[in-house]
Amino acid sequence: MNKFVANANIVLNEVAELIDNPPQKIDYQGEIKAGVDLGTANLVLAAVDKDNKPLLALCEPGTVVRDGLVVDYIGALKIVKKMKIKMEAIFNREIKYAATAVPPGTGGRDIDTFKNVVQGAGFTVKNVVDEPSAAATLLGIERGVVVDIGGGTTGISILEDGKVVYTADEATGGTHLNLVIAGGLGISIEKAEKIKRDPDRIDEIFPMVIPVIEKIASIINNHIGKYKAETVYLVGGTSAIDGIEEVLAKKTGLKIVKPSQTLLVTPLGIAINCE
Ligand SMILES: Nc1ncnc2c1ncn2[C@@H]1O[C@H](COP(=O)(O)OP(=O)(O)OP(=O)(O)O)[C@@H](O)[C@H]1O
Ligand SMILES: [Mg+2]
């Protein structure tokens, strides 16, 4: 594992701890850089200091974004506002600036919608980046394939010299894992979602989800085509499932790097880009 990813892991684990046990009060008077990640399954507000050290992160489930588009503008606004107020109470002061990110390939007016949500919640938007670039910032990478396996989709972005040179988004993600688990066990989708995240049941459910992971591998293979990609960096919540990296390595023949806390890579990268 390269030095940058090892460092990123330390920071990511700190953030996970902050999400699980948010401090009641933080006495910090320096500059706060905030990042808002509007995902299909989760909305995250992360804050770092001027040296990009994590200060706080809040996460709320939400279904306000679908297929890379804000489908519930008012709902999104409410959740971001709620997280802003909560964060400001912990810091005991206003947090003015935030960055946000859009899925790769998002066009002009749709970018404005993401920006308007964050602005409408009371932030001044300093920067709008694309999600894979935000992830690459945190991981300290200039080249390689960022594969973001989220709730509804898998995003594939190829980076060369620090720039995104190719991007694609396909409708396979965590919800498809839920579908096969629910079908296999004859249970509801909601129950399947819980069981999927239970480390004690991973041996039981993993064989069921292998075909979905293999589909994700073939999506990666189809898209990297002519690019001389060697390394895949896994991000997004679904990448957290234990064993996904081995299946992807076998089916793609690529080196798979999986940071700890894959769900938090992009949100934290967004906060770092608040400048
Ligand atoms: N520990 C875990 N094991 C397996 N899956 C997980 C785990 N934690 C979260 N997930 C899954 O990750 C998905 C959400 O990931 P993420 O927050 O990256 O998606 P999103 O950004 O909201 O969606 P998208 O990228 O599709 O727009 C959900 O399907 C959830 O079930
Ligand atoms: Mg996402």
HSE-CB at 135 with a 13 A cutoff on CA atoms is 35
| Cα 36 from Cα 47, distance rounded (Å) | 9
Which residues make Cβ contacts (< 8 Å) with residue 265, sequence separation at least 6?
A: 8, 12, 135, 138, 139, 235, 236, 259
* Residue found by looking up tokens 């200039």 in the block: 142
Q: Judge whether residue 2 has pLDDT over 80.
A: no
Measured in Å, residue 39 CA sits from the centre of ligand 2 at 5
* 169 in the same domain as 195: yes
241 within ligand 1 shell (Cβ under 6 A):
yes
Q: Are residues 113 and 211 in the same domain?
A: no
- Tally of CB atoms within 10 A around 115: 17
Residues 151 and 94 placed together within one structural domain of the fold:
no
Q: Are residues 126 and 157 both part of a single domain?
A: no
- Residue 222 is predicted with a pLDDT of 94
The pLDDT tens digits for 207-228 are 999 999 999 999 999 999 888 8
pLDDT on residue 107? 84
Using the predicted structure, report yes or no on whether residue 124 has a pLDDT greater than 90: yes
**Percentage above 70 pLDDT, the chain:** 100
Are 36 and 57 in a shared domain?
yes
Does residue 40 line the site of ligand 1, with CB under 6 A? yes
Quick: pLDDT tens for 142-182: 999 999 999 888 999 999 998 999 999 898 999 999 999 99
pLDDT one-digit tens code per residue, 66-88: 877 899 999 999 999 999 999 99
Ligand 1 atom showing the smallest separation from residue 266 Cα = 18
Domain co-membership, 119 together with 164: no
Q: Which ligand is nearest to the CA of 68?
A: 1
At residue 228, the pLDDT reads 84
What are the angstrom distances between the C-alpha of 97 and each of 72, 85, 213, 275?
Answer: 23, 14, 38, 9
Mutation probe of ligand 1 site: the residue of 15, 40, 80 with most atoms within 8 A of C-beta: 40
How high does pLDDT run on average in the chain? Answer: 94
Do 257 and 231 contact (CB within 8 A), yes or no? Answer: yes
Instruction: Assess whether 14 and 130 both reside in one domain.
Output: yes
Per-residue pLDDT tens over the stretch 245-265 = 999 999 999 999 999 999 999
Whether residues 132 and 19 share a domain: the answer is yes
Q: Is the distance from the beta carbon of residue 104 to the nearest atom of ligand 1 less than 6 Å?
A: no
Q: Tell whether the model's pLDDT for residue 92 goes beyond 80.
A: yes
Kindly state the average pLDDT of the residues 43-56. Answer: 95
Residue identified by tokens 């249970």 is 187
Count of domains forming the chain? 2
Q: What is the rounded CA–CA span in Å between residue 38 and residue 165?
A: 23
240: Cβ below 6 Å to ligand 1?
A: yes
Indicate whether 92 and 157 sit together in one domain: no
More confident residue, 165 or 106: 165
Q: Which range in 79-88, 134-143, 226-235 is most confidently predicted, on average pLDDT? A: 79-88
- The reported pLDDT for the residue numbered 147 is 97
- What spacing in Å lies between the alpha carbon of 150 and ligand 1's midpoint? 4
83 and 113 share one domain:
yes
Domain containing residue 153: CATH number: 3.30.420.40
Which residues, listed in sequence order, are joined to residue 57 by a DSSP beta bridge?
A: 46
pLDDT at 268 over 90: yes
Ligand nearest to the CA of 132: 2
Check pLDDT > 70 for residue 32.
yes
Indicate if 181 and 163 belong to the same structural domain.
Answer: yes
Give the distance (Å) from ligand 2 centre to CA of residue 40. Answer: 7
Q: How confident is the model at residue 1 (pLDDT cuts 50, 70, 90)?
A: low
Contact between 158 and 145 under an 8 Å Cβ cutoff? The reply is yes
Is pLDDT at 4 greater than 90 in this prediction?
no
Cα 114 to ligand 2 centroid, rounded to whole Å? 13
Domain limits at 108? 3-137+263-272
Same domain, 243 and 173: yes
Instruction: Judge contact between 178 and 189, C-beta under 8 A.
Output: yes
Residue 267 beta carbon below 6 angstroms from any ligand 1 atom: no
Region 7-32: mean pLDDT is 94
Residue 8 · residue 140 · CB < 8 Å: yes
Question: Kind and range of the H or E element at 121?
Answer: none
- What is the pLDDT, as a whole number, of residue 81? 98
